[in-house]
Amino acid sequence: FNILANPYTTTRRPVRLGERQLFTQINEPYTDDFVLGDVNWKYKFGGATLTSITSYTHRHILVVRDATALTGSVMGGTLGLSDRVYTLDAPLDDSTRSNVWTQELRLTGASRKLRWLVGGFYGDSKRDYGQNVRPVGVDSLAAAEGFAPKGWSRGSLGAGIDVLFFSRLHYDLEQYAAFGEATLSATDRLDVTAGLRYYNFTEDRTLIFDGAFAVPTADTGKTDASGVAPRFMVSYKASDAVTFNAQASRGFRLGGVNDPLNAPLCAAADLSTFGPLAGSWKDETAWNYEVGAKSQFPRGKGSLNVSAFYMDIRDLQLTVTAGSCSSRLILNADKARSVGAEVELTVSPDEHLDFSLSGGLNNSKLLTTFRDQGGNVVAGIAEGNRLPSVPRFQGSASATYGWSVGTGSRAFVSGTYQYVGSRYTLIDDQGAGVGPACAGQKLGCVDLNTFGANTIGGPLTQGIFRFNPLLPAYSLLNLHAGLTRQSWQLSVYLNNALDETAFLALDRERGLRARVGYLTNQPRTVGVLLKTAGRQHAARRFCFSDRSRLTFARPSPLQLPCPRPSQPLRYRISRRSLSQAAIRRGLRAS
C-alpha cells in the first residue's frame, strides 16, 4: 500500500501493485565509496610473540530515497493541500561519511601447561550523517493556496526554501580496552580457560535538526561506559575424536541518545506516548552459557558439532517506530532471553564429494513489558513476544562434486540450499493496529481513513488495509558449475534457481499510514564468473535476471545489480549472533 498508489480511491486513479512491484516517483541512485587498509606485523622473541594490527577504514555513502509518500501524507493528508502540492517529487538525500582508526597489540606465549595472551585495543571513529528533503516548489505552491506566506519553509538552522527536513549529525566515538586470557592444561585431556576484558567507551554527538517537519534543534549529547567482560571455558577431550566444552561469557552494547521526535508530524496520541521516551537509552548486557561437543570422523572423512545455549539479556535495546512521527527511537526492555541449539555436519567420503548440513533452533522472547505513563503497552514490547529478526529455525545444506579433467584442471558442480524461518522485522510488528477502525486488533490492520476529510483519493471503496507483519519462511537454492586451473577459475551460476520471492523486511512510513511494503530478494539470476590468481574478489563478466528490471506503477529505469555469486546470501543478523559477536570479541556490537 502507498498513499499515492491506493487501489481503493475514487477521486484519484486507483493503482494496484503486483508481485515485486512498488510505487516510486523518482529514481533512487546509490553510491558507496569504500577504502580499507591495514598493517599487520609480528615479532617473536624469547618464547613470546608480539602482534600489531593497525587498520584504517573510510566510507562515504550517498543515497537518494523517494520520500513522496511521507511528504504526500503530510501536505495532503494532514494539511489538506491540493494534489499540485502533495504529489511533488520529494527526493530525500541521505549521506554518511565515516573514518575509523583502530590499533591492537597482542602478546602471546605458551609453555607445556599454559597458553596465555595479553593485549590492548584503541579505536577512534568519526561519523557524519545528514538528510535533506526538498520538494522543489512546495513553498510557493502551498503559499498560493493560502497555507502560509511565501518563505514559510525556510528554517533558522540551515534549511533553505523548500527544504522540509534538514539534519546534520556528527558522532565521535573513542574506545580503548585491555584484555587477557589464559588456558591451563590441567591434564592431558582437560583445558581450563579464563579471560577478562576491560572496556571504556566515550561517544560525543552534535546534532542540528531544522525544517518544517522538525523542531529546530541544535544540541549536543554524550554517552560513556566502562566495565569488564569475563569469559570462562572448560574443554574435555574424551578421545582423539570427541571433545566436550562448556563456556560462560558476558557481552555488552553501548547505550546512546535518541534523536528528537519530528513533533510537527506526530499525531497527538503518538506525541503523548513517545514524547517522554525520546531521551537516552541504556547499555545492553548479556550473559551467554553454552555447552557443546565436537567430533571428527575416522580418516578425516567429516565432523559433527552440536551445541546448546542460553542467553540472559538485560536492558535489551529495541528499535521502535514512533507512530506517525516518521521517527524511530531505541527503548530498553528490562529482561529477555534466548535459548536454542545448533548442529553442523560435514562429510567428505572421497576425493570427489563434499557435503555439509547445518541447522539451528532459537526460542527468543521478552520477559518483561514496557508501559507508558498510562499503563499501556508501548510498541509491542510485551512479555512473551518474540525478539525481532530472529527465526525460530534456520538451516542450510551444500554439496560439491569435483573431478579431474586433465593435468592441472578440475571441474566441479555445486549447490547450496538455505532455509530461513518466519520472523518479525521490529518489535512493534507485534503491537496494536493503526487507527480507530482497527482498535483492539493486532498490527496488520491499518485504518485508511485516519486523515478524515483529507483522505487522499477519498471516499475510499475500502476503509481497512490488512497485511501480515510476520515475515514468512523462505528457501533459496543456488547452483554453480565450472572449471578450475592453478591461475584461474571459470564458472557459471544460477542464483535463486527456484525464483523464490523472499520477504526480508517490512517497509513502512508514518506508522504505516503512508506506506506499507516488503523488501525482497533478487529474482532468479544467471551469470558467468571469472576468477584469476591474486584476486580476492570475483570479476563478473555478465549476468542477467529473469526479471532484472523492477516494474513500477510509474516508469523508472532502476536496474537491479548482479550479485557476486561467491558472496554468501545476506540476512539480518539474529539477536543471538549479534550478541555472541559482542561476547566473543569483547567489542561493542553495532
| Cα distance between residue 112 and residue 186, in whole Å | 11
Q: Which of 209, 234, 259 is the last residue before a domain boundary?
A: 234
d(CA 154, CA 459): 34
The distance from CA 130 to its chain's CA centroid, rounded to whole angstroms, is 19
CA distance 480 to 543: 13
41-45, 70-74, 163-167, 549-553: least confidently modelled range? 549-553
Cα separation of 554 and 18, whole Å? 13
In a domain, 261, yes or no: yes
pLDDT digits (tens, 9 = 90+) for 573-590: 233 333 333 323 232 222
**Structure confidence by residue, pLDDT tens digits, 251-272:** 999 999 999 999 999 999 999 9
Q: Are residues 360 and 310 in the same domain?
A: yes
Q: Give the residue numbers spanning the domain of 337.
A: 240-368
The span from the CA of 261 to the CA of 214, in Å, is 8
pLDDT of residue 188: 92
In the numeric block, the cell 592431558 is attached to: 188
Kindly provide the b/e burial profile for residues 130-145, where b requires at least 16 CB atoms within 10 angstroms of the residue's own CB.
bbbbbbeebbebbeee
Whole-Å CA distances, 255 to 367, 422, 503: 20, 29, 30
The answer as to whether 174 is a domain residue is yes
Same domain, 413 and 334: no
Is residue 452's pLDDT more than 90?
yes
Taking the C-alpha atoms of residue 395 and residue 455, their distance in angstroms, rounded to an integer, is 45
In a domain, 451, yes or no: no
Using a pLDDT cut of 70, give the percent of the chain over it: 90
Mean pLDDT across 339-363: 96
Which residue has cell 553510491?
A: 31
Chain segment 101-131, per-residue pLDDT in tens:
999 999 999 998 999 999 999 999 999 999 9
DSSP 3-state assignment of 196? strand
Same domain, 245 and 222: no
Residues 355 and 261 grouped into a single domain: yes
Tally of structural domains, the chain: 3
The pLDDT value given to residue 407 = 85
Instruction: Give the pLDDT band (50/70/90) at residue 534.
Output: low
Per residue, the 3-state secondary structure of 405-452, as one string, reads: EECCEEEEEEEEEEEECCECCCHHHHCECECHHHCCCECCEEECCCCH
Compare 493 and 547 and report the one with higher pLDDT: 493
Which tens digits make up the pLDDT trace of 292-313?
Answer: 999 999 988 999 999 999 999 9
For 221, the grid coordinates are 549529547
Residue 425 lies in a domain: no
Q: How many CB atoms lie within 10 A of CB 266?
A: 22
What is the C-alpha separation between 89 and 389, in angstroms, rounded?
33
Residue found under cell 478524515: 452
Give the pLDDT band (50/70/90) at residue 19: confident
pLDDT in tens, 176-229: 999 999 999 999 999 999 999 999 999 999 999 999 999 999 999 999 999 999
